[in-house]
């Protein structure tokens, strides 16, 4: 018996955080899109999947660029990628994916304060570059833009 097919969800989903005024809306119009999260911070690898799953995304998290490359994950609609990874950096992974001809829309996240980084990463093909701490809405908007880019 094979795995169950991915669920289809409404074109608009919203969640509200209990005890908070944060309202998050997602507008994803296809079956469950897969988002990969690559970050060396365990707290990021736990919190981002929780947020993304709440609005209907399937998520896989990896602690390094090397772990992502070694995985058998396929059909990634969006890659949320930390810039400052130990070993292979986020921008290095972006270049390696290009070399392998794997077109995965990338949303970079970074705690580095260098604002000149953002235009360089966008020029290299990233969909967005968010500086930590970023809002849930900013992340979801960037991921949705990436998913739309992948589906186009």
37 falls within a domain? yes
144 falls within a domain? yes
- Predicted TM-score (pTM) of the model is 0.81
pLDDT at 150: 82
pLDDT at 19: 40
Q: What is the pLDDT of residues 46-92, one digit of tens each?
A: 999 999 999 999 999 999 999 999 998 989 999 999 999 999 999 99
Q: What is the mean pLDDT of residues 17-38?
A: 60
pLDDT at 124: 94
pLDDT at 90: 97
Domains contained in the chain, number: 1
pLDDT category, 25, cuts 50, 70, 90?
A: very low
Say which CATH number the domain at 39 has.
Answer: 3.40.50.2300
21 falls within a domain? no
18 falls within a domain? no
> For residues 93 and 38, is the Cβ–Cβ distance under 8 A?
yes
Whole domain around residue 35: which residue ranges?
29-151
2 falls within a domain? no
19 falls within a domain? no
Output the average pLDDT for the chain.
84
Q: Which of 25-29, 47-51, 129-133 has the lowest mean pLDDT?
A: 25-29
pLDDT at 113: 79
pLDDT at 112: 87
- State the SS3 of the chain: CCCCCCCECCCCEEEECCCCCCEEEECCCCECCEEEEECCCHHHHHHHHHHHHHCCCEEEEECCHHHHHHCCCCCEEEEEEECCCCCCCHHHHHHHHHHCCCCCCEEEEECCCCCCHHHHHHHCCCCEEEECCCCHHHHHHHHHHHHHHHHC
pLDDT category, 114, cuts 50, 70, 90?
A: confident
48 falls within a domain? yes
131 falls within a domain? yes
pLDDT at 31: 64
pLDDT at 32: 87
């Amino acid at each position: 018996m094979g795995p169950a097919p991915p669920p289809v969800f409404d074109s608009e989903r919203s969640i509200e955080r209990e005890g908070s005024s944060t309202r998050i809306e997602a507008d994803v119009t296809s079956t469950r899109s897969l988002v990969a999260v690559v970050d060396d911070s365990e707290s990021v690898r736990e919190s981002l999947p929780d947020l993304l799953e709440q609005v209907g995304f399937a998520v896989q998290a990896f602690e390094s660029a090397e772990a992502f490359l070694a995985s058998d994950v396929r059909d990634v609609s969006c890659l949320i990628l930390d810039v400052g990874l130990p070993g292979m950096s986020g921008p290095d992974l972006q270049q390696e994916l290009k070399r392998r001809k794997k077109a995965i829309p990338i949303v970079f996240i970074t705690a580095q304060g260098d604002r000149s980084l953002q235009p360089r990463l966008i020029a290299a093909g990233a969909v967005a570059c968010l500086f930590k701490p970023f809002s849930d809405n900013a992340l979801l908007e960037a991921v949705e833009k990436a998913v739309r880019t992948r589906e186009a």
